[in-house]
Each structure stands twice: as C-alpha cells, then as structure tokens.
Structure 1
C-alpha cells in the first residue's frame, strides 16, 4: 500500500483522523522535512523515515517506491491539501511507483484563509503559483478573475529571485495589466502557526515584503450582495 496524505497547513490539529491513523500504522513515512516535522509525534518509532528536499525528491521517492513494492505500508505526507499545491508532487509519486496511488485530502491554507477573512468560495477563485513550469497561463487567469469581479486567493511562488512571484510581484504585475490599485488586499503569514496579517490596497501591497510562508487575498471591488431572504420587520 502507498497513500499520499494532506497534513494540513502546519498545525497537527488540522490533520484528519484517518490521516493520523495511517501515519501511526505506517512502515515507511516519506516527505519534505518541514512537513514531517508537523506529524513527527505520530510516526512509529520503528518506521523508516525518508526525508527529502526539492533537489533529491525524485531519488528519495524512488527509495519509497522500492519499499512499497516490497509490500510495506508507505505514507507520503504533503503540506496542506494535495490537490491545491501538491499535484505535481503527486505526479512524481505516481511516476516513481509506476501506477496511480490513493490520496487523502487535507485542510489547505486557502480554506483557513477563507475562514479567517470571511469570504465565500462560491464568490472566490483559488490560484496557486507554487508550481514548476510556465506561470503565464495562471497569471492571465488571475487578471481575468479580478476583471470578472471575483475575489482571488493566491499562493505565491517563493523559490528563487529569478522566478519568484511573491505578493509584491503579483500586485505590481496586476497593476501593469490594468487592474485597479484600489483592490482591498490581505497577506497572511504562517497560518495556524503564530499567524500575522497585513491589510491594505493592491498598490500598497506592491511595497509590502513578507516571508515565503504567505498567502494572499485580493478582494473584488464589487462584492456580491447577500442573496438570502430579507430580514423580517420587527
């Protein structure tokens, strides 16, 4: 067995009960060090732990695949929800083992942000730039989202200065594309782990520097009116 588990946004309290049970009963637990540290207390003492980074993840997943094909119960732990920013990592797991694998969703930072900021996902679009490859289609999509008068929850791309697309880059790009600098904008850092929040306009965000552990909310200039029934007169 091999299963991929979303471990939540960084606080073990947001891990699902099934995810916790699978980790407690695993023979092999694999993942990036920061993610493994979140679930470290659940990993059995006798389990093999395979820690990886961006540079050696392919080789380390190959090690995990060997144990899987030897009949061991293997768990690969992802931060957040697998299908929000971890889909390319899931593809790497499946390439390593040679077949589709089961995945268990987790709570994402986007869901936590929606709760903190009181925005409805029906009126909001989620976009992640935390991915490899060409970001251009996703940048264009973000422009269209705001033009369509929807909120946008955005995960930045933090990897390196040559490729980074952090909140201040995102704000500058959007204004270059004609998006109003007056959009109310929020940047939240370290959600569920001593979080900090910043509020301002898109123009002000272009000057606001933050850490890699950040997520961004750009609110529409035209919020949708409530569609519930009118309150009864007293």
Structure 2
C-alpha cells in the first residue's frame, strides 16, 4: 500500500481523521522535512521516516518505492491538499512507484483563506503558481479571472513570483489598481495579514504566503427573500 495524504495547512488539528489513521498505521512515512515534522507526533516509534528536499526528492522517493514494492505500508505526506498545488510532487511519487497511487485529500490554505476572507468558491477562482515550468498560461488565466469579475485566491511561487510580483504583473496587464488585496501568512499557525490595494502591494512577504484579490464589484446575491 502507498497513499499520498494532504496533511493540512500547518496546524495538526487540520489533518483529517482518516489521514491521521493512515500515518499511525504506516511502516514508512515520507515527505518534505516541514510536512513530516507536522505529523511526527503521530508516527509510530518503529516506523521508518524518509525526509527530503527539492534537490534529493527523486532519490528519496525511489527509496520509498523500494519499501512499497517490498510490501510495506507507505505514506507520503503533502502540505495542504495534494490537488491544490502538489500535483507535480504526486507525479514524482507515481514515477518512482511505476503506477498510479491512492490519494487522500486534505485541507488547503486556499480553503482556510476562503473562510477567513468570507468568500465562496463559486464566485472565486483558485490559481497556483507554486510549480516549476512556464507560468505564462496561469498568469494570463489570472488576468481573465479578474476581468470576469471574480475573486482570485492565489498561491505565489516562492523563488520568483511573490505577492509583489503578482501585483506588478497584473498592473502591467492593465488590471485596475483599485482591486482590494489581502496577503495572509502562515495560516492556522502564526497568522499575519496585510490589506491594501493592488497598487499598494509592494512589500516583501514570506514563502508561506497566499493572496486574496477581490473583485471590484461583489456579485449580487441570488436570494429572492433578502431585504431590498
């Protein structure tokens, strides 16, 4: 058995009950250092722990695959939810194993931000830049999202497309500088918030940041019984 688990945005209380059970039952628990540290209180004393970083992830996942093919119960933990911004890592796990693997969703920082910001996803589009490769298609998509009058929840790319870079790109594309922006850091742990406009978003933020860019005009309610 090998399962990829979304471990939540940073507070162990946001790990699902099923995710916690699978970690506790695992013979091998693997993942990036910070994510493994999050679930470490649940790992059995006799389980093997395999931590990795960006540079050695391919080699370490190959080690996980060896245990998997030997019949060990293996869990690979992801920060947040796998399908919000961990899909490239999932592809690496499957490449190492040589077959598709089971996934268990978690709570993403995007979902927590929607709760903090009181926005719903049917009026909001999620865009992640936390990926390797060409960002241009996703950048253009973000412009269209705002032009369509929707809110945007955005995960930046830590090494070269942070909140101030997102704002600068949008302004260069003619997006209205009056859009209200919120930048949240370290959601569910040591939370910090910045609020301003797109034009004012020029500060430096940590790599644990996520943005909410609000539409210029909120969508009207669909309820017929609201007072007018």
What TM-score results when the alignment is normalised by the length of structure 2?
A: 0.99
C-alpha distance in 2 between matches for 1:228 and 1:107: 29
C-alpha distance in 1 between matches for 2:224 and 2:194: 34
- Aligned residue for 1:92, secondary structure, equals helix
| 1:168 pairs with 2:164 | yes
C-alpha distance in 2 between matches for 1:209 and 1:151: 22
User: 1:232: how far off?
Assistant: 6.5
Residue in 2 that maps onto 1:80: 80
Residue in 2 that maps onto 1:213: 208
Residue in 2 that maps onto 1:37: 37
C-alpha distance in 1 between matches for 2:211 and 2:178: 15
Tell me the alpha carbon deviations over residues 19-41 of structure 1, each in whole angstroms, 9 at most, x when there is no partner: 00000010000000000111010
C-alpha distance in 2 between matches for 1:132 and 1:52: 17
C-alpha distance in 1 between matches for 2:139 and 2:216: 19
Residue in 1 that maps onto 2:58: 58
Residue in 2 that maps onto 1:181: 177
Residue in 2 that maps onto 1:222: 217
C-alpha distance in 2 between matches for 1:200 and 1:24: 43
Residue in 2 that maps onto 1:193: 189
C-alpha distance in 1 between matches for 2:181 and 2:51: 36
User: 1:49: how far off?
Assistant: 0.2
Q: Which stretch of the first structure deviates more once superposed, 223-232 or 11-20? A: 223-232
C-alpha distance in 2 between matches for 1:78 and 1:65: 16
User: 1:229: how far off?
Assistant: 2.1
- Aligned residue for 1:114, secondary structure, equals helix
What TM-score results when the alignment is normalised by the length of structure 1?
A: 0.96
- Aligned residue for 1:139, secondary structure, equals helix
C-alpha distance in 1 between matches for 2:224 and 2:18: 39
C-alpha distance in 1 between matches for 2:9 and 2:34: 11
Tell me the alpha carbon deviations over residues 18-68 of structure 1, each in whole angstroms, 9 at most, x when there is no partner: 000000010000000000111010000000000000000000000000000
User: 1:209: how far off?
Assistant: 1.4
Residue in 2 that maps onto 1:107: 107
User: 1:194: how far off?
Assistant: 1.3
C-alpha distance in 2 between matches for 1:71 and 1:120: 42
C-alpha distance in 1 between matches for 2:223 and 2:61: 49
Residue in 1 that maps onto 2:118: 118
User: 1:230: how far off?
Assistant: 2.2
C-alpha distance in 2 between matches for 1:187 and 1:232: 33
Gaps of 5+ in 2: none
